[in-house]
């Protein structure tokens, strides 16, 4: 790989006007053009009308494979397990255990409180009945995604967990993906990829059960399909909007440029539309990282992909670490790495990030695989308002309330006054008729206007 091809834009934040700052933090444009939108619409419609037959045709067209059986059978799971190296199987179990430890500890809990004497309000948790997991296998299969989705789905207690992952040309799914699915207790796995897999899980076919909510990353076609089915009342909910993978690193003069460059490249190799940004208050650190990125990138098997991603990335000089935090919050990265002398001193200032990695010995890669946190995270700025996948993502929170007669006496007048203020007479009477049945004087007359 010719490292001279690598170009990363170098900027000084203080020298940029507002328009230039917006441009500096702009993501690679997501292509939601008419061709993509219409193409996905056609695939979804074909699956809805043609079912399994359409899925076989689409798999032949897009994945270049012939599917005899759409669902992975028990013999295929056994064969996949037999082909994996013992070390890889042990690593999958080790990662799953840590993911489970963290997700069990952070799972929502039922709650109940008396908000007034005789007024009990509770929150109960129920699993989403049937969920669909999508595990990509394009340029690289992702068994880690099967772990990140399958473990919290199991903890939540989902009654049926369906997983789709594209088949290779030989009609088989990646062995590690199948093994991870078996380890996490996924109930059904289908050899399907792309928009057709999303359509199948959203609407159902003779083979693939229709799901209530869909999870997982994917390419532009998968993302567009998720957006389309989530906007259809007959479709399925989705975990979050998605975009290309990204990392933002804040590094000070004491940071190790070898580590910083490695972290930047670990995201750049994901795909040509990935983005990496480095913020530092040290020109010397920026210089060192730029040289180190050149050196390390030349050694990567996926260097060509990384180079494309680096062409849309930024090295930005900031005046201080406090300013770096402000810039990071504005960007709202999927992954935020704080390679500074005292990373926890910056942590309280972080408002928007999918996942944060503190200090020199915490590469983002551990979060991708086995620290225990989830790697399915909001990208493309959605960390301003979305959180990463967790057990809560696979559950519904249902509130419950029960009043005694004394409880209704305590809060009924408040309810009646507010209902009258909103001119909802039936709401008011649902309370006052009960109070009258208790023999109470009803002091709240019907009203069509607010009276000071």
- Contact yes or no for 126/132 (Cβ under 8 A): no
Residue 290 known to bind ligand: no
In 252-331 the beta strands, taken as DSSP E runs, fall at 275-280, 314-317
Residue 374 marked as a ligand binder: no
Annotated catalytic residue, options 224, 334, 364, 375: 334
CA torsion, ordered 276, 36, 47, 179, to nearest 10 deg: -20
Q: For strand 119-127 and strand 111-116, is the pairing parallel, antiparallel, or unpaired?
A: antiparallel
Distance between first and last Cα of the chain: 77
User: From CA 448, how far away is CA 43, in angstroms rounded?
Assistant: 53
Determine whether the annotation assigns residue 294 to a binding site. Answer: no
The annotation status of 256 as a binding-site residue, yes or no, is: no
The tokens describing 379, both together, are 């990208």
Whole-number Å distance between alpha carbons of 205 and 350: 45
Cα dihedral 77, 79, 81, 83 in deg (nearest 10): -150
Residues of 396-416 as b/e, b for ≥16 C-beta within 10 angstroms? eeeeeeebeeebbbbbbbebb
Contacts of 212 (CB under 8 A, 6+ apart): 128, 129, 130, 131, 236, 237
In angstroms, the CA 201 to CA 186 distance is 14
Task: Find the catalytic residue in 76, 224, 335, 375.
Answer: 335
Angstrom distances, CA of residue 337 to CA of 117, 148, 311, 344, 366: 49, 20, 20, 11, 12
Determine if residue 423 is labeled as part of a ligand binding site.
no
Q: Say if residue 335 carries a ligand binding annotation.
A: yes
Q: Which residue has the tokens 């249902």?
A: 398
Residue 219, marked binder: yes
Note if 335 is an active site residue: yes
Residue 301 three-state SS: coil
Q: How far does CA 441 lie from the centroid of its chain?
A: 54
Annotated binding-site residue? 5: no
Chain-centroid distance, C-alpha 400: 29
449 catalytic? Reply is no
Question: What secondary structure letter does DSSP report for 60?
Answer: I
* 422 annotated as a binding-site residue: yes
Extract the tokens encoding 96. Answer: 């799953």
User: E strands, 118-190, where?
Assistant: 119-127, 130-134, 160-164, 188-190
Q: Where is the binding site for NAD(+), in residues? A: 134, 196, 219
Q: Where is the binding site for Zn(2+), in residues? A: 267, 270, 368, 427
Q: Where is the binding site for substrate, in residues? A: 245, 267, 270, 335, 368, 422, 427
Point out the residues that are catalytic. 334-335
């Amino acid at each position: 790989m010719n490292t001279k091809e690598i170009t990363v834009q170098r900027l000084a934040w203080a020298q940029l006007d507002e328009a230039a700052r917006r441009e500096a933090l702009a993501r690679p444009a997501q292509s939601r053009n008419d061709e993509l939108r219409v193409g996905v619409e056609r695939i979804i419609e074909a699956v809805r009308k043609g079912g399994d037959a359409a899925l076989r045709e689409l798999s032949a067209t897009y994945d270049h494979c012939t599917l005899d059986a759409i669902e992975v059978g028990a013999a295929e799971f056994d064969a996949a397990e037999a082909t994996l190296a013992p070390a890889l199987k042990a690593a999958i179990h080790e990662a799953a255990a840590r993911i489970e430890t963290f997700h069990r500890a952070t799972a929502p809990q039922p709650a109940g409180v008396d908000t007034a004497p005789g007024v009990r309000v509770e929150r109960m948790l129920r699993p989403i009945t049937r969920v669909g997991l999508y595990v990509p296998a394009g340029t690289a299969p992702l068994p880690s995604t099967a772990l990140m989705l399958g473990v919290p789905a199991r903890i939540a207690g989902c009654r049926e967990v369906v997983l789709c992952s594209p088949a290779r040309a030989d009609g088989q799914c990646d062995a590690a993906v199948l093994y991870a699915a078996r380890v996490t207790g996924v109930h059904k796995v289908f050899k399907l990829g792309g928009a057709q897999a999303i359509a199948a899980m959203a609407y159902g076919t003779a083979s693939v059960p229709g799901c209530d909510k869909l999870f997982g990353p994917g390419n532009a076609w998968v993302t567009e399909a998720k957006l389309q089915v989530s906007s259809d009342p007959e479709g399925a909910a989705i975990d979050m909007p998605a975009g290309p993978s990204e990392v933002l690193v804040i590094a000070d003069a004491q940071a190790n440029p070898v580590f910083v460059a490695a972290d930047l490249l670990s995201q750049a190799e994901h795909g040509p539309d990935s983005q990496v940004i480095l913020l530092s208050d040290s020109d010397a650190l920026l210089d060192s990282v730029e040289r180190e990125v050149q050196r390390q990138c030349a050694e990567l098997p996926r260097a060509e992909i990384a180079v494309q991603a680096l062409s849309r990335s930024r090295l930005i000089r900031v005046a201080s670490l406090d300013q770096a935090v402000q810039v990071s919050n504005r960007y709202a990265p999927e992954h935020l790495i704080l390679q500074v002398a005292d990373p926890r001193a910056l942590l309280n200032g972080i408002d928007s990030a999918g996942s944060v990695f503190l200090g020199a010995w915490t590469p983002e890669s551990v979060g991708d695989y086995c620290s225990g946190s989830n790697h399915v995270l909001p990208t493309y700025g959605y960390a301003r308002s979305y959180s990463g996948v967790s057990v809560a993502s696979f559950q519904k929170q249902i509130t419950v309330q029960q009043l005694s007669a004394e409880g209704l006496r305590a809060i009924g007048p408040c309810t009646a006054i507010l209902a009258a203020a909103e001119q909802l007479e039936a709401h008011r009477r649902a309370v006052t008729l009960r109070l009258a049945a208790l023999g109470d004087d009803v002091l709240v007359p019907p009203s069509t206007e607010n009276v000071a």
